[in-house]
């Protein structure tokens, strides 16, 4: 089954629930594509680690200015 998993942050070993859920889906043979936002270089590296697990990643940067604009709105 092909699964699209969308999250407003980058799953990693600190955000365990999403990370382990994605890893388990891939281990069961599913094709997984992650849609996420990243804000730091560390989060960008975490996305590369997810790609290494066989997860398709579509990610966009979340700029600091956009975060402030969202808060004001």
**58, pLDDT greater than 80:** yes
**Do 22 and 50 form a contact (C-beta atoms < 8 A)?**
yes
**Do 62 and 37 form a contact (C-beta atoms < 8 A)?**
yes
Q: In terms of Cα–Cα distance, which of 26, 37, 42, 41 is closest to 66?
A: 37
Q: Which pLDDT does position 67 carry in this prediction?
A: 65
Q: Is 44 helix (H, G, I), strand (E, B) or coil?
A: helix
Spatial distance between the Cα atoms of 33 and 51, rounded to a whole number of angstroms: 10
Instruction: Tell me what the pLDDT averaged over the chain comes to.
Output: 91
């Amino acid at each position: 089954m092909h699964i699209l998993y969308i999250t407003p942050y980058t799953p990693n070993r600190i955000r365990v629930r999403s990370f382990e859920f994605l890893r388990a889906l891939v281990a069961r043979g599913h094709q997984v594509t992650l849609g996420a936002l990243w804000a730091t270089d560390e989060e960008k590296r975490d996305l590369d680690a997810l790609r290494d697990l066989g997860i398709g990643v579509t990610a966009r940067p979340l700029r600091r200015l956009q975060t402030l604009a969202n808060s004001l709105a």
